[in-house]
A and B are shown apart, each in its own frame.
Chain A
Amino acid sequence: MQIKNRLTPFFENITFDREDNEMILNFGPQHPSAHGQLRLMLHLQQEMIVKAHPDIGYLHRGMEKMAENMIYNEFMPTTDRMDYIASSSNNYGFALAVEKLIGLEVPRRAKVIRMMLLEINRLMSHIFWLATTALDIGAMTVFLFAFREREYLMDIIEGYCGARLTHAAIRIGGVPLDIQDSFIAQLKSFLDKLPANIKDYEDLLDTNRIWLMRMEEVGAISKEMALSWGCTGPMLRASGVAWDIRKEEPYELYDEVEFKVPYSDKGDNFARYKVFMQEMRESAKILYQTIDMYKECVKNNQTELMAHAPKYVSAPKIDIMTQNYSLMQHFVLVTQGMRPPVGEVYVATESPKGELGFYINSQGGPYPYRLKVRAPSFWHAGVLTDLLPGHYIPDVVSIIGTTNIVFGEVDR
């Protein structure tokens, strides 16, 4: 049945054994500690990596193309699927970009709720990072402890928006819902326990010989390298640049809250671990303050959750149900979508992974003319090219762990 001459042998263009005694090792794309679909082609001299070639794209879904063919509100749930460990931060990055494009001012109560969601997402992401990285190194206990804590946070989020992973909890112009009655009590009881939990993790890891051997002075990124490779977030802060967008270019109410920006000048795995742990504490600090801010909003009777901009944002449900004009407006916004003004905008927010930027070029139509997502993990995967050479095979796992890459975001 098989027609002989039509079959051309297909070999991947790789030699496994070469004259210079260099072996090429394929790491992934199905490696459990690659945190997703990462394929690394590693050139090895004995056990040492002399050249690394990360290969990505196994999770590419063409989100930028999808965005060009969707109305703005339709794209919101799609953004969930980028950094699916902390999906509200993607929702927020997109919402803020569109709001800046339109020039919307979000009501204060919505801002407070957004900040709560963002910081809960940051905690979820960092706890997840700690769990998976510790598991890769072999610390199974930390993994179980950390997943337990993450579960509490997911329950709180589930109570808010009904979803645990893909939240779609933020809208362009505000938030769709007020927080539920039990939200603050649950959050508070979680936050009260958090310092003890973080101490548990640190007690297990900080002086652990194996952990130190795998972390200290492994995967050191210099300041110049981090800047040149476009590293942001904890990756950059661990390399000695105290740059946090929440602090430097504050959005929402981050200029009203008190928090520190932890950084280290070591740049190695251990520095990144420390930065992540410290950031969890800072997030908790911010969350305590947002609880007070929320209570103040309730006291001052600031009940608005969505911006008032009839051209772009639907009226509250009660108006839609009772007023003819609001219903018509809502109908147009749902079927045709909003038409932002002609212009372009690049807005960066500090997602748990780093700088999450949305570049939107609008030509006045209901679809963005061009939408580019600047996902931090993309460059944190790229930096492996220069970071891995000189390290040994087991280091690859710990380095991938501390770079905290998520492939939904790398490939988009």
Chain B
Amino acid sequence: MRAYKPKDNVQAKAYYTDRFYVSPQVPKSHVESDEVFARDLEAIKAKFDVLDAYIQVGQMVVFINPSDNYKVLELLRDELEYTQLSEMSAIDWLADRGGFEIFYQMLSMNKRKRLRIKMFINKGEAVNSVEKLFRSADWSEREMFDMFGIEANGHPFMKRILMPYDWQGHPLLKTYPLQGDEFAAWYEVDKIYGKEARDIIGPELRDSAKVDRYDSERFARLGHEVPKGTKITGNEPKVVQNYQEEGGVFMVKKFDKKDSVVIDDPQR
């Protein structure tokens, strides 16, 4: 892979936008409207700064400072019974706000409640790993690093997880290209054999079923054998195939194509 210099937001864009269209909002309600969430929020607020909190589609969303994430999740797990970290990942806001939004999706099985902890980090910042609290964050944080390039401090094995280890770039960034590099197949060839070899190797044979009957390099040409590499132009002499040695074999009658009979009668 070659290093890719990010250009612009290359994501698909709506080709028609109405200037006067105001998009509706998914309704948000106050946290006070739900007893359980209100109590949980109180517990979080008692110890940490809460930047914003609301309920959307039945789940509480709490915005916290990025430096508090480990402590907040520890509080949620140990005191508020949010025993499972269902999911965590990031959202690319680099173009609009110069950073990433990171969310932790929490589940409490005792309370039958789900809440989402969100925080905003600037470009180039790392987050505290929560792998010590939830083992599932081990892979989630690796995936986040792989997809966005956000590192987690204190993670035991901060390596790519889905992409190859020598990959350049982070696929879920809005600046990451949507189409592959069509010359990528040659980069390894260039490195090993030099650019001259491109002509010798030629384009990749994509049709695996293609058989060229004049190609004496790659195909055995059963029944029409010629020495390897012979140039065949097309008007080659017709070779009569002999299926048996001239001398014959004991007890076996010599096969002659001309004398053979095709039996059509299926009832024979």
A residues with CB within 8 A of B:
1-3, 6-7, 56-57, 60, 62, 64-65, 68-70, 100-101, 103, 225, 227-230, 241, 243, 248-249, 336, 339, 341-348, 355, 357, 359, 361-367, 369-370, 372, 374, 378-379, 382-383, 385-386, 411-412
Interfacial residues of chain B within 186-219, with CB under 8 A of chain A in the complex: 191-194, 197, 200
B-side contacts of A57, CB under 8 Å: 160-164
Q: How far is the CB of A228 from chain B (nearest CB, A)?
A: 4
Interface residue from B11, B136, B197 paired with A230 (Cβ < 8 Å): B136
A228 touches B136 (CB 8 A): yes
Q: Does B34 contact A (CB under 8 A)?
A: no
Q: Looking at chain B, what size class is its interface with the partner chain?
A: 35 or more
Mark the stretch among B39-47, B85-93, B248-256 that contacts chain A: B85-93
Q: In the complex, are the beta carbons of B25 and A355 less than 8 A apart?
A: no
| A357 with B87: CB separation less than 8 A | yes
CB of A370 within 8 A of CB of B92, answer: yes
Given contacts A229-B136, A343-B57, A364-B24, could you give 10 more A-B pairs where the C-beta distance is less than 8 Å? A56-B162, A69-B12, A100-B57, A227-B84, A228-B134, A230-B136, A341-B24, A363-B23, A364-B23, A411-B162
The segment out of B108-116, B119-127, B224-232 that lies at the interface is: B108-116
B86→A348 contact, CB < 8 A:
yes
Q: With the chains together, A68 CA to B13 CA distance in Å?
A: 10
| Residue in contact with A342 in the complex, picked from B23, B85, B176, B178, CB distance below 8 Å | B23
Contact of B87 with A374 in the complex, beta carbons under 8 Å: yes
Q: Provided the pairs A6-B194, A348-B114, A374-B86 are in contact, do residues A229 and B109 lie with their beta carbons within 8 angstroms?
A: no
- How far does the Cβ of B224 sit from chain A's closest Cβ, in whole Å? 31
27 contacts between A and B (CB under 8 A): A56-B162, A57-B164, A60-B163, A62-B171, A65-B172, A68-B172, A69-B178, A229-B136, A230-B85, A248-B112, A336-B15, A339-B21, A341-B25, A341-B26, A342-B23, A342-B24, A342-B25, A344-B26, A345-B26, A345-B56, A346-B57, A346-B86, A347-B57, A357-B86, A361-B91, A364-B24, A374-B87
Contact A229 B135 (CB under 8 A): yes
Chain B residues proximal to chain A, CB less than 8 Å: 11-12, 14-16, 21, 23-26, 28, 56-57, 59, 61, 83-87, 89, 91-92, 103, 105, 107, 109, 112, 114, 116, 134-136, 138-139, 147, 160-164, 171-172, 176, 178, 191-194, 197, 200
A194 to B137, CA, bound (A): 40
Per a CB cutoff under 8 Å, which of B11, B59, B83, B161 touches A227? B83
Least CB distance from A255 to B in Å reads 13
Closest 9 CB pairs of A and B: A343-B26, A364-B23, A230-B136, A57-B162, A69-B12, A341-B24, A374-B87, A382-B139, A60-B162
